[in-house]
Amino acid sequence: MSRVKVYRIEGQMLIGHDEFPRIQKFIKDVRAVKPEDAIEIVYSELGSRHKVKRKHIKILKVYEIRPEESKDPNIYKLSLLDRIILT
């Protein structure tokens, strides 16, 4: 069984590429087993929330952080759990 880690992903995305294009920087903390999985989660979430295509998202940095360093309180709280029981 693999251990889930917390990754911080920094990058840029092109918003409004048709009329008034602008580049928006982002920093996103995600929980994943591998860095590749974390990148996939970021592509999925940004595409869903902002309707941005993958070719308009540029990943600049991916690195592992401690759960305490995360700016998202939900990620920190999830990392404190030993197991999750779904009924």
CATH of the domain at 30: 3.10.20.10
Assess if residue 86 is contained within a domain. Answer: no
Number of domains composing the chain? 1
Q: What is the pLDDT of residues 3-18, one digit of tens each?
A: 899 999 999 999 987 7
Assess if residue 87 is contained within a domain. Answer: no
Assess if residue 85 is contained within a domain. Answer: no
Domain that holds residue 54: 5-80
Assess if residue 29 is contained within a domain. Answer: yes
Contacts of 45 (CB under 8 A, 6+ apart): 28, 30
Is residue 5 within 8 Å of 31, Cβ to Cβ?
Answer: yes
User: What mean pLDDT comes out for the span 71-84?
Assistant: 88
pLDDT of 57 over the 80 cut: yes
